[in-house]
Chain A
């Protein structure tokens, strides 16, 4: 009866292993799914945030442009913006020629472009995210600087 003796209690072990295996698969699936959702939401949130920041910069740039039309001696418009989005810094690039504000999250994988229209020439610049100032330079150009 040696063989019969080895088979004893096999079903208990087997069901235990099966339970563990199936549970692991289910939990892995759940984790992978959740991770995907979090990543998606994160990318979406980042993009929305960059969009909002770009729009605010463009809006203030155009406000400064309207003020510059009145031929002032000095115009400084302050744009209040967060230093970080999702615990990451970001950079702002102003392209005066085509009239674009490009906001890029550190790492470079997420970037948003917002258009603006200004009659006053706008200087091409790159600044770090955070509070910004739109300044009318003595050469009658608008320049975006860090506050």
Chain B
């Protein structure tokens, strides 16, 4: 008689095919799930922000470049008598400025700071007595105002009278003049003299004789010449192009300062100045220490970005 119940061993062997197939399909499903996981991760990565904060870094730099000079200039205008006091206060205000600017970035875990900050020394020379001759503190008519200046700015001379009469254009060399000697002994000069009325003559570095400039109706009154801006009494005079044809560093001097009276003011990128009073506001002419420019590294560091740029901040950069 056939064994209808079957043995126990036979029972165990039954359904092997289904079992193997089920396992294979289960493996495939697991593989699909893993792929799905990878796919979801990639979708997540794809939709993540790729912004590394580059615009924030540039914004920080622009804020520093655009505003730091005002902070420094405010201290320059406070007429210090001591350079170290000036520099201490400039440094303190700069740090405060950066602290305020960086606060917004620090909240998002970013280091925004200035490092390697150096202050470039400058000196402001002032004569504010319009009846005084343009001589040095002891009355010497030919004298050097500033030596080895890498730059000069805000140079304005307001000649108020006492000009030597001279016939144009040969004898300007006898008149009051501003002499700027560049590095290669090239000389740029500007003369103010009286030839039946005030005259201005300019000699560029490449020229040998001065030429009368900007005569027609430029100055009904005493000429106020801004040498660095190229204006006379506020009117543009393009022939006055400060230190044209010469290269820095400049030696700036006056000749025949006793042949004119007037006021002047200039800021030179040097601490080496001629025989003047001061430092600090006192009897003219006097000198005042100023910060000519600030050189600093703008640093912006986030987990994704390290940005460092060296910037020089000076008048006109804001």
Partner-B contacts on A (CB < 8 A): 20, 23-24, 27, 30-31, 34-35, 37-38, 41-42, 45, 48-49, 52-53, 55-56, 59-60, 63-64, 66-67, 70-78, 80-82, 85-86
- Residue pair B52, A78 in contact (C-beta under 8 Å): yes
Closest-by-CB residue of B relative to A81 is B45
Given A24-B17, A31-B25, A38-B32, CB of A63 within 8 Å of CB of B50? yes
Residue in B38, B50, B309, B310 whose CB lies within 8 Å of A60: B50
- Inter-chain contacts of A66 with B (CB < 8 A): 54
Closest-by-CB residue of B relative to A46 is B38
Residue in B32, B42, B45, B305 whose CB lies within 8 Å of A77: B305
Given A63-B54, A75-B306, A77-B305, CB of A34 within 8 Å of CB of B35? no
Closest-by-CB residue of A relative to B28 is A34
- Residue pair B305, A73 in contact (C-beta under 8 Å): no
Closest-by-CB residue of B relative to A19 is B17
**Does B290 sit within 8 A of A, measured CB to CB?**
no
- Residue pair A42, B307 in contact (C-beta under 8 Å): no
B-side interface residues, number (CB < 8 Å)? 32
Q: Which 6 A-B pairs have the closest CB atoms?
A: A72-B309, A27-B21, A76-B306, A59-B50, A74-B308, A34-B28
Residue in A35, A60, A74, A77 whose CB lies within 8 Å of B28: A35
Closest-by-CB residue of A relative to B58 is A70
**Does B39 sit within 8 A of A, measured CB to CB?**
yes
Given A34-B28, A45-B42, A48-B39, CB of A73 within 8 Å of CB of B306? no
Closest-by-CB residue of B relative to A57 is B50
Min CB–CB distance A117 → chain B (angstroms): 15
> How long is the Cα–Cα vector from A78 to B41 in the complex, in angstroms?
20
Task: Name the interface residues of B153-196: CB closer than 8 Å to any CB of A.
Answer: none
Task: Name the interface residues of B12-70: CB closer than 8 Å to any CB of A.
Answer: 17-18, 21, 24-25, 28, 31-32, 34-35, 38-39, 41-42, 45-46, 50-52, 54, 57-58, 61
Sample of 9 A–B contacts (CB below 8 Å): A30-B21, A35-B28, A38-B32, A56-B45, A67-B307, A75-B306, A75-B307, A77-B54, A78-B305
Min CB–CB distance B38 → chain A (angstroms): 5
- Residue pair B41, A82 in contact (C-beta under 8 Å): yes
**Does B304 sit within 8 A of A, measured CB to CB?**
yes
Closest-by-CB residue of A relative to B41 is A82
Min CB–CB distance A75 → chain B (angstroms): 6
> How long is the Cα–Cα vector from A64 to B34 in the complex, in angstroms?
34
**Does B216 sit within 8 A of A, measured CB to CB?**
no
> How long is the Cα–Cα vector from A59 to B308 in the complex, in angstroms?
20
> How long is the Cα–Cα vector from A52 to B40 in the complex, in angstroms?
12
Known: A31-B24, A31-B25, A52-B46. 12 other contacts (CB 8 A): A23-B18, A31-B21, A38-B35, A41-B35, A45-B39, A66-B54, A67-B54, A70-B309, A73-B297, A77-B54, A85-B42, A86-B35
> How long is the Cα–Cα vector from A24 to B18 in the complex, in angstroms?
9
- Inter-chain contacts of A31 with B (CB < 8 A): 21, 24-25, 28
Closest-by-CB residue of A relative to B49 is A59
Min CB–CB distance B29 → chain A (angstroms): 8
- Inter-chain contacts of A72 with B (CB < 8 A): 307-309
Min CB–CB distance B289 → chain A (angstroms): 29
- Residue pair A56, B50 in contact (C-beta under 8 Å): yes
Closest-by-CB residue of A relative to B30 is A38
- Residue pair A67, B57 in contact (C-beta under 8 Å): yes
Which of B18, B25, B32, B42 has the largest count of A CB atoms less than 10 A from its CB?
B42
> How long is the Cα–Cα vector from A28 to B82 in the complex, in angstroms?
95
Min CB–CB distance A143 → chain B (angstroms): 14
- Inter-chain contacts of B51 with A (CB < 8 A): 63
- Residue pair B21, A78 in contact (C-beta under 8 Å): no
Residue in A38, A67, A85 whose CB lies within 8 Å of B31: A38
- Inter-chain contacts of A63 with B (CB < 8 A): 50-52, 54
Closest-by-CB residue of A relative to B303 is A78
